[in-house]
Structure 1
Amino acid sequence: MKITQVTDAVWMLNFGVGQAYAIRLPEGFALVDAGWAGHERRILDALAGLGAGPRDLRDIVITHCHKDHYGSAAALAAATGARVLAGAADAPVIDGSAPLPEPKLADWEVPLYEAHSPQVPPAPPVRVDRELTDGDTLDWGEQARVIHVPGHTYGSIALHLPASGVLFTGDTIANVQYLMPGVFNVEPERMAAAFRTQAALDVETACFGHGDPITSGAGAALRAAADRLP
């Protein structure tokens, strides 16, 4: 696993395929997404390298209900006592009480999806301690604001930290060769709106579910990309 410092308080944990983010809080750490099932030991080791013991992990925020983003959440919650938070519309998938909705794939996405999806191991269900809705806030020393950005999944959320200018997009935006809406979406028609909602924010740093973060001038880059969307 590659660990990259993004800001003074944010680190990207890259697993080769997929990634999560560790955020230093005034007391402890939060995690945005949890990687594939089986990544919990690597995540705990990464936190230890940042000076954090298991009980220092306070929150695990899941941006959406895909198994490559919450696969290790159950094991991490059990090992640390951290609470699990997710968008209200995705919580039933994450806790195992509802099936994962199938994406509406464009023709060009079908071979990518068929190649990628079988590689990801099943994600054990995990209890969602707090269901998040648009406008909710988390007290992480500075305020973290929840933005409901449906399209990739019904309950996809982004997290915006206005004071530090950091945005976590989940898979609603990807930075793979260029900035683009995410793929494998349940509501493809809503993805441009999700992108533009986030591009309108005051953002210096953007952290994506796939692709390298933008550490400077992210808002301008997002707005330029949004202007190119159909």
Structure 2
Amino acid sequence: METQQVTPTIWMLKFAVGQAYALRLPDGWSLVDTGLPGHAEQVLAALRRLDGTGCADLRDIVLTHSHLDHVGSAADLAAATGATVLAGAADAPVIRGEVPEPPPVLEDWEVPLWDAVHANMPDLPPPGPCPVDRELADGDTLDWGQEVRVVHVPGHTAGSIALHLPRTGVLFTGDTIANVEQLMPGVFNVDRAQVLAAFHRQAALEVETACFGHGAPLVGGAGEALRAVARQLGGPAT
């Protein structure tokens, strides 16, 4: 697992597949996603190193959606730290292990990409069910020393959420938007039309820094970059 600083208070935790983000709070840390299964100790070690005190005071874990590469280490991290786990209401039953993960509806051009991704997936232990302490809905807010607004952006999964920090202009998109070779709507979706609508909705926000589930973050001018792609996609005006 690699660690890369994005802003003075945000670090990207990069895994063999996908990534998560650690945010320094006034009184500890929050995580946006937790990466692949079996990485809890590495994540905690990274937080202790970044904190500089040998302490990993993890307060919140927000899961942008229910896929393996985002929730994989959530249960272990919550058990180790007592952190509160939060997720979109429609994905919470999947994360808790109450219902199976709905499969994506692949576009023809996504099939070889899907096969390639899964061929390269490391051999990892399956994640256990993870409790969800708070189910999030559109418009909910969190207090991380600044307001965090929950944006319900279904399409990648039914309960996908983004997090918008208006004061600092930061957006966490989960997998609804990717920056792999180019900035684009996410792939492997349950409803591609909803993902396109989710892209437009996020492009309309005031954003300077965008942090994606896959691909390098955009630091500075992210909102305009998103709006430029939204114009190319057509559809709702942004």
TM-score, normalising length from structure 1? 0.96
Partner of 1:34: 34
Partner of 2:207: 203
Q: How many pairs align?
A: 230
Partner of 1:226: 230
Partner of 1:132: 136
Partner of 2:57: 56
In structure 2, C-alpha distance between the alignment counterparts of 1:219 and 1:74, rounded to whole Å: 33
Look up the SS of the partner of 1:108 in the other structure: helix
In structure 2, C-alpha distance between the alignment counterparts of 1:229 and 1:8, rounded to whole Å: 33
Partner of 1:109: 110
Amino acid at match of 1:227: R
Look up the SS of the partner of 1:186 in the other structure: coil
1:153 equivalenced with 2:157 (yes/no): yes
CA deviations over 1:168-219 (Å, ceiling 9, x no partner):
0000000011110000000111111100000000000000000000010000
Unmatched tracts of structure 1, length 5 or more: none
In structure 1, C-alpha distance between the alignment counterparts of 2:210 and 2:221, rounded to whole Å: 9
1:95 equivalenced with 2:96 (yes/no): yes
Partner of 2:194: 190
In structure 2, C-alpha distance between the alignment counterparts of 1:79 and 1:44, rounded to whole Å: 9
Partner of 2:9: 9
Amino acid at match of 2:12: M
In structure 1, C-alpha distance between the alignment counterparts of 2:212 and 2:6, rounded to whole Å: 12
In structure 2, C-alpha distance between the alignment counterparts of 1:38 and 1:158, rounded to whole Å: 25
In structure 2, C-alpha distance between the alignment counterparts of 1:177 and 1:55, rounded to whole Å: 34
In structure 1, C-alpha distance between the alignment counterparts of 2:56 and 2:35, rounded to whole Å: 19
1:173 equivalenced with 2:177 (yes/no): yes
Look up the SS of the partner of 1:201 in the other structure: coil
Unmatched tracts of structure 2, length 5 or more: none
Task: Report the alpha carbon displacement of residue 16 of structure 1 after superposing the two structures with TM.
Answer: 3.2
In structure 2, C-alpha distance between the alignment counterparts of 1:209 and 1:42, rounded to whole Å: 18
| Percent sequence identity over aligned pairs | 66
CA deviations over 1:14-68 (Å, ceiling 9, x no partner):
1132110000111000000000001111101110111265661000000001011
TM-score, normalising length from structure 2? 0.93
CA deviations over 1:95-145 (Å, ceiling 9, x no partner):
000110011001121122233236264322100000000000000000000
Amino acid at match of 1:209: G
In structure 2, C-alpha distance between the alignment counterparts of 1:179 and 1:50, rounded to whole Å: 29
Look up the SS of the partner of 2:174 in the other structure: coil
Aligned 8 A contact 2:174 2:212 in 1: yes
Query: Segments of 4+ in structure 1 off by > 4 A?
Result: 52-55
Aligned 8 A contact 2:47 2:56 in 1: no
In structure 2, C-alpha distance between the alignment counterparts of 1:132 and 1:68, rounded to whole Å: 20
Partner of 1:141: 145
Look up the SS of the partner of 2:108 in the other structure: coil
1:82 equivalenced with 2:74 (yes/no): no
RMSD: 1.3
Amino acid at match of 1:167: L
